[in-house]
Structure 1
Amino acid sequence: MDLGLVSRYRKELYGFCAIWIILFHMAHNAMVDFSFGISVLQPLQAFVSVGSLGVDIFLFLSGISLYYSFQKNQRADLFIIKRLTRILPPLALTYGVFWIARFIGGDYSFAQLLWNFTLISRMVSGLPGGDNGMWFVVFIIGMYLIFPYIYLFIYGVYIEESSEKKSEGFIFMRMAALVVAALLFYWLVHKFDLKWFKISEIGLARIPIFIVGCYAGHLVKENVRLPWPVWIPVFMITIIFFVVVSPPGIRHWWWRLAYFPAGITVSYSLSFMIAAVSKLGSFGRRLQSVLGIFGGISLEVYLTHCILFTNKLGLPLIDGRLWLAIILAAFAVLWALAVGKATKAISKLINKRI
């Protein structure tokens, strides 16, 4: 089987994950019950309840995309500038507007407003606290900044032009060592600084899948194919994840690490489904188109819906009412479309100057 399947349907996967995360926040934060009290619909509620897995899939795909982007031009400064021009304008047009509105409304002092714009507050006061969705922005910016070093560690400098191209085994071992180091760091933080662990584990647990995504980019580029029997455990892990992790229960300190392998396997499982749907004629093409539209503004949708579904702004208003949650979600999508257009224009302008 072609490992490039996730790359081929990358935009649709981004779109699916954006929708999945919105539904997750509807259920988890706004208390919307997608089972409507009907037992036969409980699997739907269970599926929605693990929608945060969409973040792991997003990071896996981001690792692949960043590998390709860095391959084109291995100048770290230009790479980081281009990445930041993709994330900072949407941030300013979503959370920036939200913070200014709260400042005008008297919720923030001017000093607090400036402090928010530094993003430092999201690192020292708790990533999942305050403006909940901001943890991901801080995290992904951090991943952008360290990506050139991850690439350098795994592949070395200008690997494609090297006269002594490193063996696949060498590359895999270095990637595996980096994943082990990330897992060890996760454990050490839990062991010696439990307070900081509680406010940062939501990001720390996602570092391994981002690293694997960086490695997967290389496999996709090299057109690596795996025999079908290898994919049996892929689907088994996917099924086990939904059976074991989905039901509510006691959360161990390491529970979020279960999303690491599942993020990879579910990515490919969804790719198979999208590939199958694409063969359903006009219906399949329309569905692909819708997912593609969401995929093109996935970051913007994430930011706008987080303002409405993870802050005190919209939650008391929704209070489990599905119809109201849908209206707010539609508003978030329209806002995201406008932000997406503005971001493209800004990025184009900046890229012309660098």
Structure 2
Amino acid sequence: MKKTNNSVLSQYRGALMGISIILIIVFHFTDDCHYYSYHFSGWISFFWRYISSSSVDAFLFFSGLGLYYSMKKRSDVRSFYIRRLKRILIPYCIVAVPSYILLDVCVDKTGWGEAIKDFTFITFFSDGDRLYWYIGLMLLCYLIYPYIFQIVDSARDAIDGEIRLISMVSAVTVLALVIALYEKEVFGNVNIALLRLPVFIAGCFYGRSSYEKRESYWKWLILFALSGYLLTMLPSGSPIFARYVTGIFNISCCAGIAWIFSQLSMRPVIRILEWFGAHSLELYLVHVTIRKFMKGAAFYTCRLRYELVLVCSSIVVAWILQILVRYITDHMIKEKR
């Protein structure tokens, strides 16, 4: 048996993000089955209730982990913001601008003002528009990351780092509780993003542990066992409890999968998963967009034939989108030179 340390998650980060985007697509299918009460039983019901959208937590965790490596390699904050904003805003603009024009201006007839508010995430807070909510959350995470990095990197040792992590997660949790208590409507709109900030913060702290190759991989066994037990208490009336438990369980499973990858020769499988991981942002944008329009046109993706069309078209269009994004990015670099 090969010896592993905390860097194993970084080593297989691309493949794990590939698994995560696949599971998100599966969740959307189960969510449609639940919404339309179509074959909502068996593994579909189990997945929707206990796994749900927790793979998004894995994305945020691995984003935080990867950002630590990126900042250690190149600590210039201005350069960090430019690189990250280009990476997320270029594909977002390509997909979201025509989508909101079609949805708000052409279909719903709510006008350009509504399209602009949707695009800038204003309606996410006011009306709960969640079409591209993940992009808004990632923009926030990128904005605050340099400050989180300073907190993570200035920790004296692992214990000091864990105390800081617990303190930051507790602060976000208290904020969520206050909003849920006094602004229930706002909490209903933003909890999908707010309750995922802790897992991003945890990924930032784990990034240092991974970077320094600490040997505390055994902690994942404890988290897996504890979260697995707490899963039996779902569904829960507390969205905070449910979000935290499913998120911890999902990331613990990712740690287990990374360990399996490190022990077995699975390069062909890993390469396929890495392709999905490399295209994950584009897949997310394209998938939720095509799904939105298909449902609007009464091609309900709870039905398997329509789901297959959705998945296949998402993969093809996401591949084209990444080529387009790369072309625009390269063109911008050439002009800058």
> Normalization by structure 1: what TM-score?
0.83
Check conservation: 2:282, 2:321, Cα contact below 8 A. Answer: yes
Check conservation: 2:29, 2:301, Cα contact below 8 A. Answer: no
The aligned counterpart of 1:67 is 68
The aligned counterpart of 1:101 is 102
After superposition, the C-alpha distances for 1:81-131 in whole angstroms (9 at most, x for unaligned) are 2111111111122222212333663434233333333333333332xx3xx
Out of 256, 273, 281, the residue aligned to residue 269 of structure 1 is 256
The aligned counterpart of 1:174 is 164
CA distance in 1: counterparts of 2:226 and 2:85, whole angstroms? 35
How many residues in Structure 1 have an aligned counterpart in Structure 2? 330
State the Cα distance separating 1:292 from its structure 2 match: 1.1
The aligned counterpart of 2:309 is 327
CA distance in 2: counterparts of 1:275 and 1:45, whole angstroms? 32
- Give the alignment's Cα RMSD to 1 decimal: 2.8
State the Cα distance separating 1:178 from its structure 2 match: 1.3
SS in 2 for 1:256: helix
After superposition, the C-alpha distances for 1:212-256 in whole angstroms (9 at most, x for unaligned) are 10000000110101264x4432331353355443xxx45324222
Distance 1:184 1:313, change over 3 A: same
- Determine whether 1:189 maps to 2:154: no
Q: Give aligned-pair identity as a percent.
A: 25
Question: After alignment, is 214-223 or 262-271 more displaced?
Answer: 262-271
State the Cα distance separating 1:135 from its structure 2 match: 1.3
CA distance in 1: counterparts of 2:268 and 2:230, whole angstroms? 30
State the Cα distance separating 1:198 from its structure 2 match: 1.0
Out of 129, 141, 144, the residue aligned to residue 143 of structure 1 is 141
CA distance in 1: counterparts of 2:275 and 2:198, whole angstroms? 28
Distance 1:77 1:100, change over 3 A: same
State the Cα distance separating 1:275 from its structure 2 match: 4.1
SS in 2 for 1:318: coil
CA distance in 2: counterparts of 1:199 and 1:315, whole angstroms? 25
Q: How does 1:121-132 map to 2 (within 5 A)?
A: 121-126=123-128, 129=129, 132=130
Check conservation: 2:17, 2:277, Cα contact below 8 A. Answer: yes
The amino acid of 2:46's aligned partner reads: A
After superposition, the C-alpha distances for 1:267-320 in whole angstroms (9 at most, x for unaligned) are 2123234445x52xxxx4332222111101101111111113356745731263
CA distance in 1: counterparts of 2:284 and 2:151, whole angstroms? 31
Check conservation: 1:32, 1:321, Cα contact below 8 A. Answer: no
CA distance in 2: counterparts of 1:315 and 1:251, whole angstroms? 34
CA distance in 2: counterparts of 1:273 and 1:96, whole angstroms? 41
Q: How does 1:15-164 map to 2 (within 5 A)?
A: 15-31=18-34, 42-43=42-43, 45-47=45-47, 50-102=51-103, 105-108=106-109, 109-126=111-128, 129=129, 132-156=130-154
Check conservation: 2:55, 2:247, Cα contact below 8 A. Answer: no
- Determine whether 1:336 maps to 2:318: yes
Structure 1's unaligned 5+ residue stretches are: 157-164
The amino acid of 2:168's aligned partner reads: L
Out of 2, 5, 9, the residue aligned to residue 12 of structure 2 is 9
Question: After alignment, is 215-224 or 285-294 more displaced?
Answer: 285-294
The aligned counterpart of 2:221 is 232
Once superposed, which parts of structure 1, at least 4 consecutive aligned residues long, lie more than 6 Å away? none
> Normalization by structure 2: what TM-score?
0.87
Q: How does 1:194-213 map to 2 (within 5 A)?
A: 194-213=184-203
The aligned counterpart of 1:162 is none
Question: After alignment, is 52-61 or 262-271 more displaced?
Answer: 262-271
